[in-house]
Chains A and B, each alone.
Chain A
Amino acid sequence: MNLRRTLTGALAAPLLLLPACGGGDPSGADRPIASAPPTSPSPTKPPKQESPEHFIRRWAAEDTRIQKTGDTSRFREMSKGCRGCLKLANLVDRIYSAGGFITTEGWRITRISASDSGSYDLFVNAAATTFAEKEGGQVHHLPSGPAHFQLRLKRNGSTWNVTYLVQIAA
């Protein structure tokens, strides 16, 4: 039993009832995405017509914010139908509701690229993370380091939704 399974196992049963991820809008792949400098600020509000890259940066900022604040509502709105995202949101909710904590500076995006299959590859440098699942519970340390995630997006009016999230082994 490793940490990933330990933490997610308790969430697995109810999540099996959720709809499967996938089915990203291929129209998102019709605009090539240039990688922005990793130091660019994370946008927090959508422009009138949001590009996939802008949305992914805003979503990644939310990913960090929910861990810092425990407020997962906006992240959930941006991730409708994304099973992996909901697992994270549920885990964060569970930690905060049990009196646990999460300390992290989150992700620093190093690259975003669109693939021919309509998915997006998100490369980040993740800051070290410390968390406890409940008040007074065992403290876990996750090291910093590079990570590669794959997302699929679906157009949602003038913006997007993440419908699928998976980490790709390095």
Chain B
Amino acid sequence: MRPALAAGVVALVILLRFEGPATAEGAGDCGASGGLTGVAVGCLKSGDETNAYIAGHSDHSYSIRPACEIGGLVLCDQPAQCHVGDHDGWLYNVYQDDSTEPLDWQACLTKQEAQRLGGLTPGMVEHAFQRLAWPASPIVVQPPKGRTLVNFDTNFYTTNTHPTTQTVTLIGQQVTIEATPVGYTWHFGANASDADLSTSDPGAAYPDLRVTYRYTRIGEVHPSVDTTYAGRYRVGNGRWQSIPATLTVPGEADDLQVVSATPHLVGY
């Protein structure tokens, strides 16, 4: 008897959930107005409409994420532009509670409206990416011990090759930002216009000579390597999203003596 009753309740709930919006949607929804076209196409709410919806459903929590197109589920690093009423805005998908599926309407919000709704904007994450401290690359020189030979291929490499992650809280949300070295600018300190080299290669230890420089004068030089990082982020355990801008961290200079060698005959 009890299973039959439960099945009946489930069937009734499914029926109500399916039929409800077909007859009447709440004020402010696109819903049933607009005929079949209104049913088929995406629905856009202004910031005021979005706030009104959230205020009318205060038993739930809501979050927003940038969306790249009207009616689409795909999230974007940079939200698509939209226009509602007399202002331009940015397109966001709206999520209820912990749902991973957005609501069936989208919000067109100004930057201020998005911030008030707790929405992370790509600009906020990019700003955090820029202001966080990321590791400077140590430069390793071979031959070691701060001395190398003039007119000799001196080898350089760095051990900073792996992503670094940091977690910050932005608008109350835990955001993990990851910085991956994608480029290196080598300053060999030779005071020559061609003495800088940009590579995506971190170099390698001897004998794998991938980044080398041949000094033509003796003296003291201060080589260093700057690191260019590409970033990506994710909110909680969500999908990783790339940060459009890159960030360059200057490297600390090393002391290196360029010396000449005098040949000496040695006996066996």
Q: Are A169 and B35 in contact (CB under 8 A)?
A: no
* Mask of A89-108 contacts with B, CB within 8 angstroms, 1/0: 00110000000001010110
In the complex, identify which listed stretch (B37-45, B163-171, B182-190, B194-202) lies at the interface while the others stay far away.
B37-45
Give the interface segment out of A32-40, A46-54, A136-144, A153-161. Answer: A136-144
List chain A residues, Cβ under 8 A from B19. Answer: 3
B60-87, CB under 8 A of A: which get 1 and which 0?
Answer: 0000000011111110000010011000
- Chain A residue at minimal CB-CB distance from B80: A22
Q: Is B254 an interface residue (CB 8 A)?
A: no
Listed stretches B26-34, B149-157, B257-265; interface member: B26-34
* A-B contacts, CB under 8 A, total: 153
Q: Which residues of A contact B (CB under 8 A)?
A: 1-8, 11-12, 16, 20-22, 63, 67, 83-85, 87-88, 91-92, 102, 104, 106-107, 115, 117, 119, 124, 126-127, 129, 131, 140-143, 145-147, 149-150, 164-170
The list of the 10 closest CB pairs from A to B, nearest first, reads A147-B34, A84-B41, A2-B21, A88-B40, A126-B35, A167-B30, A20-B69, A117-B83, A145-B33, A169-B45
User: Which one of A8, A107, A168 contacts B39 once the chains associate, using CB atoms below 8 Å?
Assistant: A8
Is the CB–CB distance between A169 and B30 below 8 Å? yes
Check A84/B34 contact, CB under 8 A, given A12-B73, A115-B83.
no
Are B18 and A168 interface neighbours, CB within 8 A?
no
Name B residues whose Cβ lies closer than 8 Å to a Cβ of A: 17-25, 27-46, 49, 68-74, 80, 83-84, 88, 104-105
> Is there contact, CB below 8 Å, between A106 and B69?
no
Rounded to whole angstroms, the CA-CA distance of A31 and B70 in the bound complex is 26
Q: Give the shortest distance, in Å, between A72 (CB) and chain B (any CB).
A: 12
The reply to whether A146 and B33 form a contact with Cβ atoms under 8 Å apart is yes
Q: Which residues of A contact B80 (CB under 8 A)?
A: 20, 22
A142–B83 touching, CB < 8 Å: no
A158 to chain B, nearest CB (A): 26
Given contacts A16-B74, A91-B40, A141-B22, 8 further A-B pairs with CB under 8 A are: A8-B71, A12-B73, A67-B35, A83-B72, A102-B36, A104-B35, A129-B35, A166-B44
| Residue in A closest to B70 when the chains form the complex, CB atoms | A166
Q: Are B72 and A167 in contact (CB under 8 A)?
A: no
Which of A1, A83, A115, A167 has a CB less than 8 Å from the CB of B38?
A: A167
Contact of A2 among B17, B44, B45 (CB under 8 A): B17
Establish whether residues A88 and B69, one from each chain, have CB atoms under 8 Å apart when the complex forms.
no
Q: Which residues of B contact A117 (CB under 8 A)?
A: 83, 88
With a cutoff of 8 Å between Cβ atoms, the chain A residues found around residue B38 in the complex are 126, 142, 147, 149, 167
Most buried by B among A67, A92, A104, A129: A129
In the complex, which of the residues B24, B36, B83 contacts A119, with contact meaning CB atoms closer than 8 Å? B83
Across-interface contacts of A67 in B (CB, < 8 A): 35-36
**Chain B, residue nearest A84 (CB):** B41
Residues in A whose Cβ lies below 8 Å from that of B43:
4, 166-169
CB <8 Å contact, B35 and A127: yes
Please list 22 pairs of residues, one from A and one from B, whose beta carbons are closer than 8 Å in the complex, sorted by A's number.
Answer: A2-B17, A2-B31, A3-B19, A3-B22, A5-B104, A6-B18, A16-B72, A21-B70, A83-B71, A83-B72, A87-B41, A88-B37, A117-B83, A124-B34, A129-B35, A143-B32, A147-B38, A150-B83, A166-B43, A167-B38, A167-B42, A169-B28
Residues of B within 8 A of A22 (CB): 69-70, 80
Most buried by B among A140, A142, A170: A142
CB A102 to nearest CB in B, in angstroms, measures: 6
